[in-house]
Structures are given as C-alpha cells and as structure tokens.
Structure 1
Amino acid sequence: MGLCFGKSQTDEDDSVRSVEFAGGNVHLITTTESWDQKLAEASRDGKIVVANFSATWCGPCKMVAPFYRELSEKYPSIMFLLIDVEELTEFSASWDIKATPTFFFLRDGQQVDKLVGANKPELQKRITAIVDSTPQRQN
C-alpha cells in the first residue's frame, strides 16, 4: 500500500499537474468555503462524500488518481472531493492528515470511515459497501 509522508525536494513545479488529479465527477476543493458548500450540497441531496486528501508530488496519489476519477463516474450518487494538502495546509492539518492519500467517507458532514493509502481494491470495497448501505431516495 502506497503512502507519502513528506514532499520530495527533487520535484519540479507542481501547480501545472494538479489538474490531472481532478476530472470526471471529482470536485477540486481549493478553499474552506468550497468545502463547506460541497458538504452542504451533499447533505441536502442525501449524498455520501468521499474526500481524497492528496498531493501532486505524491507517487501513490498519482497512481490512484485515475482510479478515483473512474469511481466518480461509476458512482454518481456519491460526491467525490479532492483536497490538495499543500494548497490547504491548515485545513488538512485540522483533519489530522499524516500520510497521503487519505480518504474520508462522510455522511451528513460526519466521518463514517477512513482509508489511508493508495489501496485500490480496499477503496472500491468501501465505496461499494457505502453504496449498498445507503437507502435510495425517491424523487
């Protein structure tokens, strides 16, 4: 299972690459206000949130990013968020992020599960379990 604990000093400018981490139905969170808005939207719509605390310089984060995008397209009933720990350092610290990637699973803004590391099968398993345990809303 891949984890990153600190930034490599040999990496070049990361700002250009942050875009490749988003895409699909993944929402890039760049401010605490956008975080609050997305959580309120998810609560209102009865959606589970998967929040990926990641970093552009992290190898395992890069490896899992395309899979995370695929999951976001496969499960439109879930809101997928991406938080760059370098961009939102204080916010990430408030979530006690010790390694990247770290995935939080939230229901009504409350943590229901957490996964540390780029473990694709486990990420898939936890998302499937959450989808299976979520009552379907009738419109």
Structure 2
Amino acid sequence: MAMTSTYTSPEPARQEVDQLGGPTVIEFGAPWCGYCMAAQAPLARAFAGHPDVRHIKIEDGKGKALGRSFRVKLWPTLVFLRDGREVARLVRPDGVADIERALQEVGQPA
C-alpha cells in the first residue's frame, strides 16, 4: 500500500469503509481543486515513510454519499481511520508535520 494519485471510481459504500482493517486515510477532494493540488507534495512526503497505510482518494462533490456521511465541507479533507474508525482528521493541510503526526496516530495500535 502506498499513496495513490488517482481518484477511486466508483466510490466505496460507507459500510465497506467501516469494515476496512488496519490504517487507512481517505482523502476527499477534486482533481480541479487548487487546495487539493497544493496538498499533493506534502502528502507524498508524509506517506513515503508510511507504506503500510492504505490511501483512498475520493472525488467528492454534490450528491456524493461517502463525503456526506463523513460531513466533508472543505477540500481536501483527510480522514484517518484505524480498523474503520476515525482517529484523526485534517482539513486543508498545508505542511508535512500535521500529516505526519496523524499518520503516526493512525498507525498506532488501539
């Protein structure tokens, strides 16, 4: 597992996400979003040290059920999950340090 650069299509159902085992980061955004594009370099640097963390990129928008179920309002929103449960969240991260801290938190056993 490693950081992915492509958006997952179709998006998984919330029930599937809730049943994921291990550390996972769901990145909600859009390919045309300037904030999302700016976050890619810091995300790549942070993920480089965490190859065990699953990364799922979800194109969000009006009528997208998964983003609404996580109450996403701004892009990018990163939801850090451990065994399907949210343990951290970052909205519009702009640096590696915050992402790295959340990745360390999601990788820690419960």
Classify the TM-score, shorter chain: 0.7 to 0.9
Is 1:102 the counterpart of 2:81 in the alignment? no
1:43-58 to 2 correspondences below 5 Å: 43=21, 47-58=22-33
Paired residues of 2:18 and 2:85 also in contact (CA < 8 A): no
CA distance in 2, matches of 1:64, 1:88: 24
Is 1:31 the counterpart of 2:10 in the alignment? yes
Q: What CA RMSD, in Å, does the superposition of the two structures yield over aligned residues?
A: 2.7
Residue in structure 1 matched with residue 43 of structure 2 by the alignment: 68
Paired residues of 1:39 and 1:49 also in contact (CA < 8 A): no
Residue in structure 2 matched with residue 123 of structure 1 by the alignment: 99
Identify the match of residue 86 of structure 2 among 96, 100, 111: 111
Paired residues of 2:30 and 2:75 also in contact (CA < 8 A): yes
CA distance in 2, matches of 1:93, 1:134: 28
Q: Which has the higher contact order (CA 8 A, sep 6+)?
A: 2
The gaps in structure 2 that reach 5 residues or longer are none
| Length-normalised TM-score, structure 2 | 0.75
Q: Secondary structure at the match of 1:29?
A: coil
CA displacement at 1:104 relative to structure 2 = 0.5
CA distance in 1, matches of 2:48, 2:29: 19
Aligned residues: 106
The gaps in structure 1 that reach 5 residues or longer are 1-23
Q: State, as a whole percentage, how many aligned pairs show the same letter.
A: 20
